[in-house]
A and B are shown apart, each in its own frame.
Chain A
Amino acid sequence: MTDLRALNDAFEELERRADAATAARPFDLPHRNRAQASRLVPMALAAAAVAGLVTGAVLLVPNNDPGTQAAQPGGSTTTAPITTTTATPPPPAYDNPELLAERFRAVLGDLATFTVTETGPGASVMTLPDRPITTTAATATAPTTTAPSTTGPQQPKTIGSSIVGTLTSAGVTGGFDLLMYPGLGRDGAWCDAPDEPSCSVRELPDGSSLATSQVALESGGVTHQISLVRPDGLVFVMHVSNRQSPKGSGPVLGTHPPLTVEQLVRIATSDRW
C-alpha cells in the first residue's frame, strides 16, 4: 500500500511532463485536431473521420502577429488565374490536393503506387481576436449550438492540402496520409507521440527540422511517421501504416508499413516537390 503523497508525486510528475509539452509548443494547437479538421471536409467524409483518417492541423495565431503573414503562401503565385504567356514559377505542391498527389507521384517515381481516397486542407489557421468578441443580440438569443459563427473576420481559414489513401510498394500495401502547408516557421517538427522511445527529432544540414517515429498510434497497427519543417516554414507530414488507416487502425493490409522511415525521409526531403 502507498498513500496520498505518492499519488501527489505521480500528479506532479505528470504536471512536469505537461509543462514540458506546453513549453515545447506555445500557441501551436497542431496536428491531429480531428474535430476541427472534420468540420472542414464534406459531410460525406464524416464516416471516414470517425475511422481516424482525417488529417489536418490547426494553427492558432495571435491577431496582428507578423507570423500570420508567413501563413500566406508568401511571394508565390497562388492567386492563380493571372495567365501570362511567359513562364511563371509552378505553384507549390500544397496549392491543391490534386497537385499534391501529382507531385507525390513524381517524387515516388517507381518506388510506390498509391490511390487517393480522401482529400482536404493541410491546416486551418485561427486568428485570435484582439478584443472580446462582442455579443450581438442575435447571438445572445440564439439557441446554444456548436455551429461555428459565420460572422466576423475570425473564421478559420485553411491553408495547404492533404491526401489520404492506400499505397503499395514492393508488393506491400498500407494506408497513408500526406499533408503539406506553409507554416509559421516558428516551431520545429514534432512526433505525434513525443514520449515514445522511437521518436527522433533532429536538425538537417539545410536547417530543416525533422521528426520521425515508429509507433502504433491506434489499435495496435504499426505507423511510420515523419514531419519535416523546412526553414521557409513549409510543413510536411506523412504517416504510413500496415493498416487501412494511416494512424494504424482499420483492416490489416500487410505485415509492415509499405515504406520505411528512411524512405519517408527521402520522400520528404526530395527536391522534386
Chain B
Amino acid sequence: MEFGEYVVGRRPALMRFATVLTCQTWLAEDIVSDVLGRAYERWDRISVMAEPHAYVRRMVVNEYLSWRRRLARTSPRAEVEPDVPFSDGADERARRDALIRRLARLPRRQRAAVVLRYYAGLSDAEIGAELGCRVTTVRSQISRALATLRVDLTANPHTYQETR
C-alpha cells in the first residue's frame, strides 16, 4: 500500500483512536502527525508488514505513553477540569461528558488498556503485548480503571440509576 493511500484511508481511524485515547483532539492531531511523519520515513519497512495499521496504531499508543515525559508537559486541560457534579441525572449528555472527564483523568496506562480493550477490542494478551506488560497487569489496570470510571460491566445495559 502506498503511504498516500494509507493516510487517506486510515488517518480518520487513527484520529478517532488517538482522540479516544487522549480525550483531546489537538493532542490527537499532534500525536497522529508525529506518528505519520515517522511512519512515512520507514514506510518501506512498515508497508510490507502483515498488518501495517496495527503497527502504526501501536506507534500512536507508544507516542501517547511517552508524550508527556518527552515534552516535559503537564496536565492537558481536560485532566485538571473539576469534576463538577450535575443535578440532572437524566441528562445523557452531561453523563457522557462526565464519563469523558473521568476517562481523561485516568492514568495513561490504565486509559490505554481500557481503550485497547473496549474501543479497539483487543484481548488481554494482545493488550499486554501492545503495552509491554503481563496479562495479570493488564487485568488489574482495567479493573482499577473501570472502578474509577464507575463502569459496572454487570449492570443492566438499559438501566441508568446513578451516574456519579
Taking Cβ atoms with an 8 Å cutoff, the residues of A that contact B are 1-11, 13-15, 17-22, 25, 27, 29-30, 32-36, 50-52, 58, 60, 62-63, 126, 128-135, 139-140, 144, 146, 148-149, 192-196, 215-216, 218-220, 249
Contact = CB atoms under 8 A, between A and B. Distances in A.
20 contacts: A6-B163, A7-B149, A19-B15, A20-B25, A21-B28, A22-B12, A29-B37, A30-B29, A36-B33, A50-B72, A129-B2, A132-B44, A133-B44, A139-B44, A146-B42, A193-B24, A194-B26, A218-B74, A219-B74, A220-B75
A4 B157 contact: yes
A59 to B, nearest CB: 10
B156 interface: yes
B74 A60 contact: no
B41 A149 contact: yes
Contacts of B90: none
A249 B73 contact: yes
A2 to B, nearest CB: 6
A34 B34 contact: yes
Contact of A21 (B7, B19, B77): B19
Contacts of B144: none
Return the 10 tightest CB-CB contacts between A and B, nearest first. A18-B19, A128-B4, A21-B25, A29-B33, A3-B155, A1-B152, A18-B16, A10-B99, A18-B15, A22-B15
A1 B162 contact: yes
Interface in B75-115: 75, 77, 92, 95-97, 99-100, 103, 114
Interface of B: 1-4, 7, 11-12, 15-16, 18-20, 23-26, 28-30, 32-34, 36-38, 40-45, 47-48, 70-75, 77, 92, 95-97, 99-100, 103, 114, 118-119, 149-153, 155-163
Contacts of B161: 1
Nearest to A126: B40
Given A2-B155, A15-B20, A130 B4 contact: yes
A2 B99 contact: yes
Given A10-B103, A18-B15, A3 B26 contact: no
A20 B99 CA distance: 20
Interface centre among A21, A33, A50, A131 (most CB of B within 10 A): A21
B72 to A, nearest CB: 6
